[in-house]
Amino acid sequence: MPEGTKRNSSGGSLIVFAALLIALAATSFYNYLLFHAFTELVAVGIAIAVFTVAWNARTMRENGYLLVAGTGLLFVAMLGLIHTLAYNGMGIFVGYDANLPTQLWIASRYLLAGTFLAAPLLFRGNSDPWRVFSGFAGVAGVLLLSIFVVPVFPDCFIEGQGLTPFKIISEYVVVAALALGAVAVYRLRAAFSPRVTNHLVAAIVVLMASELAFTLYTDVYGLLNMIGHLLMVLSFGLIYIAFVETGIQQPYELVFTGLKSSEERLRREKNRLAQYLDIAGALFVVIDRGGQVALINRRASEVLACPADAAVGELWSERFIPPVERERFRALFEKLRMGDINENERVKMLVVATDGSERVIAWHHTVLRDENGAVCGILSSGEDITEQQHAEAALARANAKLNLLAGITRHDILNQVTVARAYIEFAGEDSEKPAVRDYLGRARSAVEEIQRQIEFTRDYQNMGVAAPVWQRPADLIRESVAELDPPAGIRVRVDLGDLEIYADPMVKRVFYNLIDNAIRHGGAVTEIRFSCVKSGQDILIVCEDDGNGIPGSEKEAIFRVTYKRRYSHGLYLVSEILGITGMTIRETGVFGEGARFEVRVVNGGWRGGE
């Protein structure tokens, strides 16, 4: 209900109660007993109405306040009705004076104050309705027994003297208890609508004023007694608006308070999630199991040139996948539903915008399931890599041209090197002068170094050309051993399990060079061992041999491009290949006991290894 309608409803009810108060006040000048009976019956009727709402909502309640308050007011109404019948002059209870109705009044006030104190305490509890009912019935029964059967209830009014100290003190105690009840309601205001909270607090405050008026009268037919009863009617009128009128017109603000707050909380979370999705740079699309778009964020809407409200409900494959990709998408969608594809796998796919343009999107797909575990849709997060793809294609074409040029140039240079080496050999055979032979030997060494340098550029050129892939070092080592064919006295042992590393396709050269160096430069090597060991979140691939080892002064120099050119660039090439995917290598062996190379594979760059 709109706020304006709510205010009009409350205002209309207050006008009705104002007219009722005026009519009741006028009745008091005609016959006070009639006035008293009407005021008490109005309060009793409202209390019964509150109980009716609370009791019928007992199976739907989201908190215990309404149940406790409604049940308590029912028994307050019962005591109030007996008080009305026992009022001085009614002549129903023979042999009693004005003390009886005053005792019943105080008993009902204690029960009323107790109700407003107990309701907040049982607010969060899942109270059993019949236990609450029995509890209040027991308290009301004890109060009646203490007045009628076992007269231990203190006197509250003495003819000719007026109110007793017990009655006056009791009114102040009741006022204090009601004040605590009002504070408790205010502290629980988040559980009710402002309409309920405001009217309930106001009702308790007016009720406190009513009780204070009842501490001052000396005549049960006096003005202060009348004012107290009028304030009581006004208080119950506010309770009527808070509980009965609101419970009927706006049940979500009273009976289903928890549900309403949950819905509001869910709505806020949904709006916040929508904001997060809209400001994200990635594309987010939810496709239901029927293949229709269920959700799309702002970035996806921009890339597809289609408003979100127009995209929702459309068949994704028919509207946003080009015909050439549709069969592939359907197969992918079906495999995702069946769980045949790794959800973390990155899938590139074309999408077509409403203006006809095509974009390349790299998608990550996640299967969505309902509470029963059944697949209910696919959440796809994507990145527009169209420009990146164009740049990579251009770079690949440029690299291909450079590699072609480098290959041709290298081929021509090596041909000339071969010619130069042949002429050097011919010249050496024809010359018998020692000095000339010495010069020719140096020239031969220089040409051979040129040849090694040129061959090294071929290997270096190929690094980073292809994208890194997952590879099994154990397989690469066995292939390298087969190509190198070590001497019979050298054994290569591999203990890497199912370890895989994410590395450049040339990583095989790493293991090839490590084995080759051990064979050629390790001395009396009989065994080369490959193993792995965890190091924090990383893993170390260890290559050890039982040869001579590396002197301490050369442990870092061996990985430099200038180290002993006569031994080529093997270990420098090894460190460069590993560095492409963030791996490092170092030598940690003890000189004289053998070499030990440790390849560190960082977390995320390895898997398996158990």
pLDDT of residue 213: 82
Place of tokens 């209390």: 47
CATH number at residue 46: 1.20.1070
Residues 432 and 517 occupy one common structural domain: no
CA dist 242 and 14 (Å) reads 12
Check: CB of residue 275 under 8 Å from CB of residue 368: no
Phi first, then psi, for residue 280 (nearest 5°) are -70, 145
Find the mean pLDDT for residues 263-279.
Answer: 59
pLDDT tens-digit series, residues 155-169: 988 887 878 899 889
User: Residue 501: beta bridge partners?
Assistant: 471, 606
Burial of 602 from C-beta contacts in 10 A (0-12 / 13-18 / 19+): middle
Flag whether 273 is in a domain.
Answer: no
Same domain, 12 and 107: yes
- Indicate whether 488 and 563 sit together in one domain: yes
- Whether the CB-CB separation of 514 and 542 falls below 8 Å is answered with no
- In CATH, what number is assigned to the domain containing residue 525? 3.30.565.10
Q: Quick one: 116 and 194 in the same domain?
A: yes
Q: What pLDDT sits at residue 335?
A: 80
Q: Are residues 114 and 234 in the same domain?
A: yes
**Total domains in the fold of the chain:** 4
Pairwise CA distance, residues 244 & 143, whole Å? 28
Task: Work out the mean pLDDT of the chain and round it to a whole number.
Answer: 80
Answer for the pair 541, 601: CB distance below 8 angstroms, yes or no. Answer: yes
Per DSSP, 405 falls in state H
Determine, yes or no, domain membership for 274. Answer: no
**Model pLDDT for residues 422-476, shown as the tens digit of each residue:** 777 777 776 677 777 777 777 777 777 677 667 656 655 665 567 788 999 999 9
Is residue 267 in a domain? no
Mean pLDDT over 107-120 rounds to 89
Do 87 and 168 belong to one domain? yes
- One domain for residues 356 and 431: no
Give the model confidence (pLDDT) of 206-228 as tens digits. Answer: 889 888 887 776 565 667 778 88
Question: Looking at residue 75, what is its pLDDT?
Answer: 93
237 against 57, higher pLDDT: 237
How far is the CA of 60 from the CAs of 56, 103, 106, 249, 346, in angstroms? 8, 37, 34, 16, 48
C-alpha to C-alpha distance for 532 and 250, rounded to whole angstroms: 69
If you average pLDDT over residues 353-367, what whole number do you get? 85
Q: What is the pLDDT of residue 2?
A: 47
In the chain, % of residues over pLDDT 70? 80
Residues 477 and 528 in one domain: yes
530 phi and psi angles, rounded to 5 deg: -115, 130
What share of the chain has pLDDT > 90, as a percent?
20
Q: Is the pLDDT of residue 259 over 60?
A: no
Q: What is the pLDDT of residue 460?
A: 57
Which helix (H) or strand (E) is 220 found in, with range?
A: none
On whether both 104 and 196 belong to a single domain, the answer is: yes
For 445, the domain range is 390-462
Q: What is the pLDDT of residues 569-601, one digit of tens each?
A: 578 888 888 988 899 999 999 999 999 999 999
- For the stretch 366-406, pLDDT in tens is 888 877 777 788 888 888 888 887 777 776 666 666 665 66
Among left, alpha and beta (phi > 0; psi -120 to 50; other), residue 313 is left
The C-alpha atoms of residue 123 and residue 139 are separated, in whole angstroms, by: 20
Output the pLDDT for position 373.
Answer: 77
Q: Is the dihedral of CA 418, 422, 423, 427 positive or negative?
A: positive
Query: How much is the pLDDT for 527?
Result: 94
In a domain, residue 98? The reply is yes
| pLDDT, position 494 | 93
Position 227 in a domain: yes
Q: Is the pLDDT of residue 532 over 50?
A: yes
Structure tokens at 320: 């946003």
pTM: 0.45
Residue 248 has pLDDT above 70, yes or no: no
Looking at the structure, tell me whether residues 396 and 378 fall in a common domain: no
- 43 with 183, same domain: the answer is yes
Same domain, 544 and 487: yes
